[in-house]
Chain A
Amino acid sequence: MKATAWIAINVFRESVRDKVLYNLVFFAILLIGASYLIGQLTAGQDVKIIKDLGLAATSIFGVFIAVFIGIGLVSKEVERRSVYSLLAKPIHRYQLLIGKYCGLVLTLIVNVSIMAAALYVVLAYMSWGVPPAAARIWDAPALDPALLKATALLLAELTIVTAIALLFSTFSTPMLSAAMTFGLYIVGHFTNDLRNFADLVDSPAAARLARGLSWALPNLAQFDVRADVVHGLPVSFGYMGLASLYAAVYVAMLLAISVLIFSRRDFK
């Protein structure tokens, strides 16, 4: 456990020294800041636009961080042979993998928190000095705590994306891992459509296949509550709990498969 935490801390240290990460966070904050300007162009909808664009930027750059750092977590270690010295230490292979995963999740938590804080700063600036009468037409208050719910669910989604990237990186090249992770990320937002498709097709085989895939592939759409939050619709803690449980089970499954592959792998 101690070794796993130690590996996780080292991954975090590696990430915060990575220029790519700084660039991504910088652009995310830039985009969140720019949403203020775009908000100015829309009469009465400015807060909504800022929230929408800010959350979207946080989501997109969060996925970029998860994928681009996640795909290198193991493959870079193997490619550069640093894994040789590491595995000679008194650790199990699964500890290395879990430590790497936890380190990246820690990095994501910190970065998504920074982006969320940037969004709140922009919203605070926007709403500063706005008379209460004008603020009443907004669907939700500018500094709505519900934004944190959307951010928390985004983080839950990113834990799945990271686990997918890690899984591919245990046996594939970084390029292929990136392509496959992005592919699954996109498909993961349409698994409900796959389920609907199964109800529509006549062929029982195609229906079974579509239904099977809809259960096996990650259902990422459920983590996207941006529209509800922006429009002031409630997102219950029960819903959040269930979605988080789903993420935890799915991540555990992906990590188990990754461990199975990684613990049998030859490092030639």
Chain B
Amino acid sequence: MPALATFELTKDYAIGFWRKRPYRALDGLTLEIAPGEVFGFLGPNGAGKTTTLKLLMQLVFPTSGRAEIFGRPLGDLSVKRRIGYLPEHPYFYDYLTAEELLTYFAGLFGYAGAERRARAARLLDEVGIGAERRMQLRKFSKGMLQRVGIAQAILNEPELVIFDEPMSGLDPLGRRDVRSLILRLRDRGCTVFFSSHVLSDAEALCDRVAILARGRLAAMGRLTDMLPFRARGWDLVVAGVRDETVAALGTRVRRAVRLSDGHYMLDLPPDSPPERLVGELTAGGAHLVSLNPIRQTLEEFFVEHVTTPAAAGAPRDVEPPHGRRP
């Protein structure tokens, strides 16, 4: 049984002031996430990521289609007990301290007094909120609020967490902390479904990703298996290599650029593994400076899928919906 599944999930919003017309924010999304998987939900702003997550949390209702979590319909309280959710740019009650907020939320899960306080303290430690936990949230920075948001999302030791842009508002240290937290959650067997528009986050963390563009699923699978993101070659930079050694490489190198004396950047084709060539060069006295795959960036992918007429497909203003409302 998948941890999460959506079936032709579609959402239209009514836009316009006087003459309302439907605008399709999400168009027939079907996906399945296996238990224990770290699944990245990628797409540019306005692609429909947040709408999808809100649909899953029943903050908005679908125009058509449906979704299930742990094989049960959305909104089921037994399901809500097993999931955690971090909204985008989380905001909490100004007048509460971080400790009080977590204790309050723990009460909604039905934990008893001592357990509430213990959980709040443990999770604030886990997300790196120290003495500030007794400060009112109105005094918190954006990054600290994000940490509190993450703490409240994992308060109930969820089996599935849904994070909307978890790295948003965090400095590099904070981003690193969140990445480690996601990996720790995965190690505990928790399924993680998070949205992002940063490819490197997905590369570092995800088993699989889905890419959304203009409300539609543009691609889904392992990033390394997805055609646009497969390596189209390798950029190899070596130092201490002789000119004649480089010349002798022949067709094994598509292009060689001499950066300085004995310092070369080599463009390798994708068909041969670069390790062998690196081994040969280093055996001949060269040393490796860097080796990077050449592939389409997520930004390039977005541009292609969002701006090309073919990818854009039908306009997003749609006919009045005939779907049902649960």
Q: Write the residues of chain A forming the contact surface with B, with a CB cutoff of 8 angstroms.
A: 2-3, 6-7, 10, 13-14, 17-18, 80-92, 264, 266-268
Whether the Cβ atoms of B95 and A14 lie closer than 8 Å is yes
| Interface residue B281 (Cβ < 8 Å from any Cβ of A) | no
Which stretch in B105-113, B117-125, B218-226, B301-309 binds the other chain?
A: B105-113
Whether the Cβ atoms of B80 and A267 lie closer than 8 Å is no
Residues of B within 8 Å of A17, CB to CB, are: 95
- Chain B nearest CB, measured from A57 CB (Å): 27
**What separation, in Å, do the CA atoms of A89 and B104 have in the docked complex?**
11
- Chain A nearest CB, measured from B215 CB (Å): 15
**What separation, in Å, do the CA atoms of A18 and B93 have in the docked complex?**
12
Residues of A within 8 Å of B96, CB to CB, are: 13
User: Across the two chains, which residue of chain B brings its CB closest to A84?
Assistant: B87
Whether the Cβ atoms of B95 and A2 lie closer than 8 Å is no
User: Across the two chains, which residue of chain B brings its CB closest to A92?
Assistant: B77
Q: A17-B95, A88-B57 are in contact. Are A6 and B108 (CB under 8 A)?
A: yes
Whether the Cβ atoms of A85 and B13 lie closer than 8 Å is no
Our pick among B60, B85, B153 for the contact of A266 (Cβ within 8 Å) is: B60
Our pick among A2, A18, A80, A90 for the contact of B77 (Cβ within 8 Å) is: A90
Whether the Cβ atoms of A82 and B81 lie closer than 8 Å is no
Residues of A within 8 Å of B54, CB to CB, are: 84, 267
- Chain A nearest CB, measured from B163 CB (Å): 12
- Chain B nearest CB, measured from A19 CB (Å): 10
Whether the Cβ atoms of A89 and B105 lie closer than 8 Å is yes
Our pick among A13, A85, A90 for the contact of B92 (Cβ within 8 Å) is: A85
Q: A10-B104, A84-B85, A264-B61 are in contact. Are A89 and B109 (CB under 8 A)?
A: yes
**What separation, in Å, do the CA atoms of A90 and B75 have in the docked complex?**
9
Q: A14-B93, A85-B92 are in contact. Are A91 and B108 (CB under 8 A)?
A: yes
Q: A14-B95, A81-B91 are in contact. Are A3 and B108 (CB under 8 A)?
A: yes
> How many of chain B's residues touch chain A, expressed as a range?
20 to 34
Whether the Cβ atoms of B85 and A268 lie closer than 8 Å is no
The 9 closest A-B pairs by CB, nearest first: A88-B85, A84-B87, A90-B80, A89-B108, A266-B60, A17-B95, A6-B107, A267-B59, A90-B77
- Chain A nearest CB, measured from B140 CB (Å): 13
25 A-B residue pairings within 8 Å (CB atoms): A2-B110, A3-B107, A6-B104, A6-B107, A10-B93, A81-B90, A84-B59, A84-B90, A85-B90, A85-B152, A86-B108, A87-B58, A88-B80, A88-B83, A88-B84, A88-B87, A89-B108, A90-B108, A90-B109, A90-B110, A92-B77, A264-B325, A266-B13, A266-B61, A268-B13
| Interface residue B255 (Cβ < 8 Å from any Cβ of A) | no
User: Across the two chains, which residue of chain B brings its CB closest to A77?
Assistant: B93
Within 8 A of A (CB), among B117-171: 149, 152-153
| Interface residue B254 (Cβ < 8 Å from any Cβ of A) | no
Q: A84-B57, A266-B61, A267-B60 are in contact. Are A90 and B81 (CB under 8 A)?
A: yes
Residues of B within 8 Å of A10, CB to CB, are: 93, 104
Contact pattern, B 67-93, Cβ under 8 Å of A = 1, otherwise 0 = 000000000011011011111011111
Residues of A within 8 Å of B80, CB to CB, are: 88-91
Residues of B within 8 Å of A86, CB to CB, are: 105, 108
**What separation, in Å, do the CA atoms of A268 and B59 have in the docked complex?**
8
- Chain A nearest CB, measured from B41 CB (Å): 17
**What separation, in Å, do the CA atoms of A268 and B91 have in the docked complex?**
15
Within 8 A of A (CB), among B276-291: none
Residues of B within 8 Å of A266, CB to CB, are: 13, 59-61
Q: A6-B104, A10-B104 are in contact. Are A87 and B59 (CB under 8 A)?
A: yes
User: Across the two chains, which residue of chain A brings its CB closest to B79?
Assistant: A90
- Chain B nearest CB, measured from A146 CB (Å): 38
Q: A6-B107, A14-B95, A90-B81 are in contact. Are A85 and B87 (CB under 8 A)?
A: yes
Residues of B within 8 Å of A91, CB to CB, are: 77, 80, 108
**What separation, in Å, do the CA atoms of A7 and B104 have in the docked complex?**
8
Within 8 A of A (CB), among B181-231: none
- Chain B nearest CB, measured from A34 CB (Å): 31
Whether the Cβ atoms of A82 and B92 lie closer than 8 Å is yes
**What separation, in Å, do the CA atoms of A86 and B109 have in the docked complex?**
11
**What separation, in Å, do the CA atoms of A266 and B55 have in the docked complex?**
9
**What separation, in Å, do the CA atoms of A263 and B81 have in the docked complex?**
19
A3-B107, A268-B13 provided; 18 other pairs, C-beta below 8 A?
A10-B93, A17-B95, A82-B93, A84-B90, A85-B87, A85-B149, A87-B58, A88-B80, A88-B85, A90-B80, A90-B108, A91-B80, A264-B325, A266-B59, A266-B61, A267-B59, A267-B60, A268-B60
**What separation, in Å, do the CA atoms of A6 and B110 have in the docked complex?**
9
User: Across the two chains, which residue of chain A brings its CB closest to B101?
Assistant: A85
**What separation, in Å, do the CA atoms of A10 and B116 have in the docked complex?**
15
Residues of A within 8 Å of B87, CB to CB, are: 81, 84-85, 88
- Chain A nearest CB, measured from B97 CB (Å): 11
With a 10 A CB-CB cut-off, give which of A18, A89, A264, A267 has the most chain B CB atoms: A89
Residues of A within 8 Å of B81, CB to CB, are: 90
Q: A14-B93, A18-B95 are in contact. Are A85 and B105 (CB under 8 A)?
A: yes
User: Across the two chains, which residue of chain A brings its CB closest to B51?
Assistant: A268
Whether the Cβ atoms of B60 and A87 lie closer than 8 Å is no
- Chain B nearest CB, measured from A77 CB (Å): 9
**What separation, in Å, do the CA atoms of A253 and B58 have in the docked complex?**
25
Residues of A within 8 Å of B58, CB to CB, are: 87
